[in-house]
Structure 1
Amino acid sequence: MTDHSDCNSCGVSSCSARNRQQGESDEQFQMRQRLNRNLCRIEHKILVMSGKGGVGKSTTALNLALALAAEDKAVGLLDVDLHGPSLPTMLGMSDQRPQMGEEGILPLDFQGLRVMSIGFLLESRDQAMIMRGPMKHGAIQQFLADVAWGPLDVLVIDCPPGTGDEPLSAAQLLGEGAGAVIVTTPQDVALVDVEKSVSFARQLKMNIIGVIENMAGFVCPHCNEVTDLFGRGGGERLAGRMDIPFLGRIPLDPRLVQSGDSGRPFLLEHADSIAAEALRHVARSALKRLTEAA
């Protein structure tokens, strides 16, 4: 981890954050410096994306972050699904609110995992966030610049489905070096949309860390036999066809749904399960890719 607490004391003279850009206001310059100061202290940034909704992306992002933390890494988890933030519920933290610290908004702590979501800032769980593109960009910029993430090995960013405002703003603000993990389910109807996320990442010159095939078989709660409800191998075929790494398969365990609803993350509650081991394998594969690309 690199720890630059102040842009003015940074020894990298070529950094664009050191000098004001033409036409930039004081407020814009200060925001850009805060953003760069935070990002300099985060070694790896991962956007968890999917062109298709309903593929278990948020569940995967949460458990991936926990698996990375279990590898003795300092990990942050940012939820940029501004219209449907689910991480507060999945962590059992819906009633908690962030506090202010000396360096900005303090992320909430979940067993060492540093977490932030717009869901923590809402007055009630049913409050609707009504915002368009520029407001979304501003909100995500504040999450990255004004939250006191501190030094991190990895920041995992849970994006809403598709290739719209939220993943676009996050990728642009993170800049060069941001990585993408693409989540899909095995069937072709999902793969068609997921290909668009791969194209999105390539157009923005992101480092595609790899594809995760989620819901790759159903784990029987009685005998642990795995049945391929949605087919098998679609994610791996997609990775091969588009020449990107395949990180692994995660089977569907009924307790994954129960864990999300109860606010007790699956990886911690059912650490000995087949799906938990698959999640750990995916996390180790992603970590290896990140290390190789550094």
Structure 2
Amino acid sequence: TLLICLLCCGQSYAEAEKILVVNGGTSIPRPPYRWIDQCSGKVIGSIPHLLGKIFTPLNIKYRYTAPSVDDIELSPEVDEQLENGEIDARIVYGKNPANSAVIYSQQPISVIKLAVFYPRSAATITRPQQLRQLRGVAISPLKQATPLSPLQNYLRQQGLPFILAATEDEAIELIKTGQADYVLTLKYNQLLANYSFQRLNITGFNIHFYLAIAANSDYADIMPEIDYQIEQAIASGLVDFLDRKYLMLWLERGKKACTESLLTPEPELS
């Protein structure tokens, strides 16, 4: 009886301690969607917050792996980690229906819109067609052409000339020195706080990010419940609300030592 009790109790304890492991992504800030708080070392942003809202009602405990110093160019390596069972889940750009090793959420966990930022001193841009006479900048931390970059994909699809910059600061410098006319980036961006720039929103082209879970993960069976939580978050307007909230937090970040005190507790990095 004691042995049975020990085995059962041990099994229950192990099940209670199961933790879903989410890829920590990149340490490169992507406000308002995700960044590493400089004081707490935690992953924060609208997407991590949304994951918490999705997982908590399902009693799913989760943690992030340590973020990579590189960017999305390492995506194939992370796919291998997912398929090999090293991690349970990650956020992915688009779906690959041919990949049977991965189960994707039905709805995107984040729909990111693009915008063009250009100097206020330049002629007003009211239509994307005007960009054909200009040279753009796409942010690529490794400064490499890649089909994994939504920014580069949009510029290529539209036949727009562009160059690459590793950071937004470098992109701004290229514009100041006349080597480029605008930077294509995310609609909710810290450049909104730069009053020497104005914005043209890009319509009809959105970046869809999905939650991907390994088919061999212990959590694959509850993807329908996860899908329901994602649908509820979208329908309630929570997704847009969090994007706006975290953009404001990021913009306030320069005035405060930490943003941690303004946030609800977030999962610790491993």
Task: Say which structure is richer in helix.
Answer: 1
Q: TM over 0.5: same fold? A: no
Higher relative contact order (CA 8 A, sep 6+): 2
